[in-house]
Structure formats: C-alpha cells, structure tokens
Amino acid sequence: MTAVIIEDEIPSAKFLERHLKAFDFQVLIVLKSVKNAIKWLNENTPPDIVFMDIKLGDGYSFEILQKVEINSKIVFTTAFDEYALDAFNYNSIDYLLKPISEEKIKKLLEKIETLKSGFLNEINWSNFNKVDYLNSYLVNVGLNLKKVLTDDIVYFISENNSTFIYTNEKRHYLIQKSLEKIENEVDPITFFRINRKYIINKKYLFSIKNTSQILIRVLNSENDFLTVSKSKKKSFLDWYNK
C-alpha cells in the first residue's frame, strides 16, 4: 500500500515513516505544509492512505481537504483532541493523539490490515452480499417531516457548511448529513459524486459536454453546467456507461 505523510514535526514524521515501512508501506513523500500538500496532491495520483497532522505551520490540514478532492483514506494525527469531531466529517478511518507510540501505530496498522480489502481496486464486489442502500430520506418541512424517495432526488449539494437535497420537483431540503456519509448510503449504480460539492442521480442527467473537462447539466432546465472534477473524469465515464 502507498502512503503520504503530512507532518511538520520532523521527529514525528520520521517515526511514522519508519514504522510504516516496517509494515511494507511505500511512503511516497513527506509534506510539511498545507501549501505543499495541496500542490503535491493536485499534481500526483493519490495514495491509498494519507497520514495528516491537523495543525501545521501554515494552517490546518482541513484546508487541504477543502481545496483538493482525494479518494485516499485519511488518518489524522494531532496533539489536540478537540478536532476529533471535525476529523470524522472527512474520509478518515482513525484519529491518533500525540505522542504517537509504537503501540498506537501497531493497533492502527492492524485495523488497516482488516480493512485493506476496502482500499484495493481489484476487489471483486460480486463476491459480497448485496448492500441495502437507502431508498428515502426524511426531511423537515416546517414542523412536519417529509419522506423524499432517492429516486426523486436529482442531486445532493454541499454549500455553506450545509447539505441539501434537490428534487425533481425543483425543491430544496436541508439534510443533517455530510456528502461523505451520503455517498456510502446511496446506490453507486445510480448516484455518483462528481466533485466535492455534488452527488448526482444518473436518471436526471440531461446533457454532457466532453471537452477538456466534463460538464453536465441535470434536468431540462436553465441550470448552469456542473463540472466533473479532473480526478474523477475516467470513473465518471465508466459509471455513466454502465
């Protein structure tokens, strides 16, 4: 498995790198700042896993995830436990409090070993039992609850630190879930996350422009075209072609 370490404390970075290599990880690079991490992740294939210190010299690592869309699993490392809730809003599998001991590393790697099949692209998913994906969401409409069928959802959108459902009736509803969680709840045959803001329903794709970037429009409307992120161009086309 491949790994990237984002850490500005040299002793911590070397400690982590040494133990990862001992467990047959290929450490691609050690990055020491938000700026360098954004640049490297934008220009290179994402690793299987990123070890990310939350507080860096030039900012917080959450800024990286807000500016770069990566599909890697994330392990946050930090001396501050108050960021735990924020950390798990992202695609994180663990949160290691400093000082990081050899025992903590060992337990984490044992956990990764049990989850490793989930990191690999070569999984034959047909060998797994069928997953029961959500077919509806409950939303608040005034003082009442409304059931919205996933079949009627055109897209999910994240904006201004909130997540909304947009339906085929051109209605918006606030939902108390992150796109990361929703992405794991809906059927991947029907829904696809085109970028860090949108998860779309294939049923409502109205038109697609395949230029230097893929642009899509949902419903037969005046909506602006939505952009499929460059890192997801191939997987989007594969998904759309199924």
Q: What is the pLDDT of residues 159-206, one digit of tens each?
A: 888 999 999 998 999 998 899 889 888 999 999 999 999 999 999 998
What is the per-residue DSSP string for 88-149? TTSSEEEEEESSPPHHHHHHHHHHHHHHGGGT-TT--GGGSPPP----EEEEEETTEEEEEE
pLDDT for residue 123 is more than 60: no
Tokens of 171: 């209605």
| Per-residue pLDDT tens digits for 24-73 | 788 999 999 999 999 999 888 888 889 988 888 888 888 888 888 777 88
At the top level of CATH, which class does the domain 136-241 belong to? Answer: mainly beta
At 98, which amino acid appears? K
- Residue 87's pLDDT band, with cuts at 50, 70 and 90, is low
Residue 80 is predicted with a pLDDT of 62
pLDDT, one tens digit per residue, over 224-239 is: 789 999 888 888 988 9
Q: Is there a shared CATH topology between the 2-121 domain and the 136-241 domain? A: no
Domain ranges of the chain: 2-121, 136-241
Strands 144-149 and 55-56: unpaired
Burial pattern 205-240, b for ≥16 Cβ within 10 A else e, equals: beeeeeeeebebbbeeeeeeebebbebbeeebeebe
Q: Give 44: exposed, middle or buried? Use CB within 10 Å, 0-12, 13-18, 19+.
A: exposed
113, 158, 187, 234 from 238: Cα distances, Å: 29, 24, 15, 6
- CATH match of 2-121 with 2.160.10.10: no
